[in-house]
Structure 1
């Protein structure tokens, strides 16, 4: 059975508030509501939370994207911005397109903030070095051997990522790089815990931040141009049959898993995010 937004909102609000180090009364005062209202929301009671209040709560705990995602609602300011496109606010479209798009915009801003603070932008050898991001956050990554435990485990300021393959296997490197970047995205938000590969509780946003950290626009566009030149002129067409070769080349050049390359190429409108699921016969 899947949980409803009301079921997710309370635990998410409590987690974000505690991460911020605020009491219920402090948050209520900052957001312009009563402490009883905050308490009832956190306890899972079916109480009304307007978009405006949701926005004020999220702003004061630096977790607007996570809070509105848990509530399944668009922030008030975003609703005003897209109100001229009524279809974007329909439930099915909101769930499938609008809210994830807003989450990715938030992720891009967070990633850019960390990259700008890291000396040299963490670029080494034409790709992002996630360990440099961790050093900037005073986080120590350690690669452990494969076991049945979680892929990311925080122990204070040390984070252990699990290598799923044989020790030192180059094929594991893209996944390890993603896990380290994922841990850095958590640490950026002072959230030293991780549920990945389970989703929920902000993991979707953290995955998006990690993807932006490893594939910032300048490196992604450069890798895409190189891949197109290598694959031939038709590779620039997102409906071309060899688009998979371009994605593979971009992933290899930036040292990321293929699904991250696809996601970021689609984010930057360099690739139709559904192109790989069609054949040439499906081309409109």
Structure 2
């Protein structure tokens, strides 16, 4: 998974989890730095909802996402994506994102860094719409019987910074002469959620009520705050089974994922205080991409 898993983790904000999930679902291993080739990969995928660090809007946020990935044999890569919200009541171009990064790999390990910028529709109610920039780094190691992934990111929004650490154990299971790959994964995210407080405030100002999990009516003139939003805590666990099928230059990906949020915070609206209502969520995504060798 390596490069594409990293793109997945950092792009989690692109549809925030959108490109994220599908990128994680792509199971191509990245060759050693001295043997890989330059490849251009256009792709498209659909995700039925967006959940980030266990938080989501109370209404589903299904997206259709188109993207273009350029990976140079030197390890430098760039990616752009455009996300269209396909909700029952709202359909709109919602997010444009751009990413630039570098990876280095050798044998059983790989590492990399990247930065991403996000541009949202002014009417977006994506839970991560306050985020406009992120920087990330990661390291993977393949023990043979299992692979580990450790990623660290910082998400910037409205004068605040949310650090996040993502850790997982995963195992590739190869079938059909390595054309079909299953990748059972158990993951954990740790971080702060200052972005979520900004999201609630923006939604209250826009609609006079909060739309996130545990929503309740709120006057737009009241002060909204999330208790210890900047505290660094475990936010969620995730169990997923990315599946990838390679057919010549085409790759089809499917990723079911079950998300278990933990550590609910208290939300204050004026003088009223309620505990955030979190619930386990099942989401899925499906997509296809096409790899084009760009080396002469």
TM-score (normalizing by structure 1): 0.21
The structure whose residues are more often strand, as a share, is: 2
- Bigger Rg, structure 1 or 2: 1
Greater relative contact order structure (CA < 8 Å, 6+ sep): 2
TM-score (normalizing by structure 2): 0.20
The structure whose residues are more often helix, as a share, is: 1
